[in-house]
Amino acid sequence: MQPKLIIHGGAGSSLKGKGGIESVRRSLSQVIEEVYALLKSGAKASDAVVLGCQLLEDDPRFNAGTGSVLQSDGQIRMSAALMDGTSQRFSGAINVSRVQHPIDLAHHLQSSPDRVLSDYGAAELLRELQIPLYNPLTELRLEEWMQERQENFVKTMAGVVAEPELVENAGRGTIGVVALDSQGNLAVGTSTGGKGFERIGRVSDSAMPAGNYATIHAAVSCTGIGEDIIDECLAARIVVRVTDGLSLPEAMKRTFAEAHKNQRDLGAIALDATGAIAWGKTSEVLLAAFHDGEKIGDTLESDEGTLTGCLEA
Ligand code: GLY
């Protein structure tokens, strides 16, 4: 079967001008090209998802891994999850620090009897696995935090991309990857630095089934305000609708109409087992790109009022 791939680098307010769009497009396209080549070579969906998440975590523009936002106390705490649709198995790490690729912990935990670890346990696992300590802090994120500190944290979240000139009042950064491999297996991974400036101990949706979920029928990764995603139980809601027989476009339409009515601020990317590619957003822009088997496309210029989009298989 023809592999399919969709990735995101967060959702938020409109990118400023053509320059902003082109620079995010370049970042996303590079990741799509590398990960799609792996899928074409016969790799498993879950391995492609891990590679995609690692590449997006390494891009300091996005709020995951390097470039993660700082929390209210000036520390970085990241969360990531992986779900394999074929085994219907979820694993994740919550509020982990000092690691380059939080998705690696989620990957390791796929075969562990304890599959979701939080801060102290995740740090212990990093030590056990002898994963080298890594500081994901960037100058821009530190400046953003210092500025907010001076203004006494009036903002409730940080910028979606670490380039203040590209977005206006943006928040809601996360990265995510959904893949369908040549054997027809689905997998999804999501990774985030959180909202930025949040209370210590706040838990992101990204390492919950609300933000990252898959069965053999569909797989979804979410971005946006974690509390909104949790309240809608967004990823699991879309996947369960498809699993119960709704088409992916219908499941997306119904779910995003509900989220819009509830005034949520969020986005999602999705694939189903037939190879349909879909996305949805209530925010102004969703930073997503995909490979449909023939070419790369993206959602960067989709209309502000558009809630969902779909490419049928
Ligand atoms: N969606 C990322 C977060 O709210 O933590």
Q: What are 263's two structure tokens?
A: 């005034």
Distances in Å between the Cα of 29 and the Cα atoms of 35, 198, 256 are 10, 31, 26
Distances in Å between the Cα of 276 and the Cα atoms of 28, 72, 82, 252 are 20, 40, 21, 12
Q: Is 257 a residue whose pLDDT tops 90?
A: yes
Atom of ligand 1 lying closest to residue 222 CA: 1
Atom of ligand 1 lying closest to residue 194 CA: 5
The predicted model gives 144-150 an average pLDDT of 87
Q: Is the Cβ atom of 63 under 6 angstroms away from ligand 1?
A: no
- Predicted confidence at residue 162, as pLDDT, reads 53
- Predicted confidence at residue 171, as pLDDT, reads 47
pLDDT class of 158 with cuts at 50, 70, 90: low
Could you tell me which residues are beta bridge partners of residue 190?
81, 176
Q: Is 63 a residue whose pLDDT tops 80?
A: yes
Task: Find the 286 Cα to ligand 1 centroid distance in Å.
Answer: 14
- Predicted confidence at residue 168, as pLDDT, reads 43
**Proportion of the chain above pLDDT 70, given as a percent:** 93
Is 86 labeled as catalytic in the residue annotation? no
For the CA atoms of 26, 209, 265, 269, the dihedral, rounded to the nearest 10 degrees, stands at: 40
Q: Is the Cβ atom of 224 under 6 angstroms away from ligand 1?
A: yes
Secondary structure (3-state) at 158? coil
Separation between Cα atoms, residue 235 and residue 268, nearest integer Å = 8
Q: Is the Cβ atom of 176 under 6 angstroms away from ligand 1?
A: no
- Predicted confidence at residue 167, as pLDDT, reads 46
The predicted model gives 218-226 an average pLDDT of 97
In sequence order, which ranges of 110-181 are alpha helices (DSSP H)? 119-128, 139-150
Task: Find the 11 Cα to ligand 1 centroid distance in Å.
Answer: 10
The residue whose CA is least distant from atom 1 of ligand 1 is 226
Q: Is the Cβ atom of 205 under 6 angstroms away from ligand 1?
A: yes
Give DSSP secondary structure letters for 58-75: H-TTBSSSTTPPP-TTS-
Separation between Cα atoms, residue 113 and residue 121, nearest integer Å = 14
Q: Is the Cβ atom of 226 under 6 angstroms away from ligand 1?
A: yes
Task: Find the 8 Cα to ligand 1 centroid distance in Å.
Answer: 13
The predicted model gives 29-49 an average pLDDT of 98
- Predicted confidence at residue 164, as pLDDT, reads 52
pLDDT class of 170 with cuts at 50, 70, 90: very low
Task: Find the 244 Cα to ligand 1 centroid distance in Å.
Answer: 27
Give the CATH number of domain 4-311; options: 3.60.20.30, 3.30.70.890, 3.40.1110.10, 1.20.970.10.
3.60.20.30
Determine the residue of 160, 222, 225, 232 to mutate for testing ligand 1's pocket, defined as the one with the most ligand atoms within 8 A of the Cβ atom.
Answer: 225
How do residues 113-141 score in pLDDT, each as one tens digit? Answer: 999 999 999 999 999 999 999 999 999 99
252-279: b (≥16 Cβ within 10 Å) or e: bbebbeebeeeebbbbbbbbbbbbbbbb
Atom of ligand 1 lying closest to residue 157 CA: 4
Q: Is the Cβ atom of 195 under 6 angstroms away from ligand 1?
A: yes
- Predicted confidence at residue 150, as pLDDT, reads 83
Phi-psi region of 181 (alpha: psi -120 to 50; beta: other; left: phi over 0): beta
The residue whose CA is least distant from atom 4 of ligand 1 is 226
Determine the residue of 56, 96, 172, 191 to mutate for testing ligand 1's pocket, defined as the one with the most ligand atoms within 8 A of the Cβ atom.
Answer: 172
Average pLDDT of the chain is 93
Q: Is 17 a residue whose pLDDT tops 90?
A: no
- Predicted confidence at residue 313, as pLDDT, reads 87
Q: Is 148 a residue whose pLDDT tops 90?
A: no
Q: Which of 66, 86, 156, 174 is flagged as catalytic?
A: 174
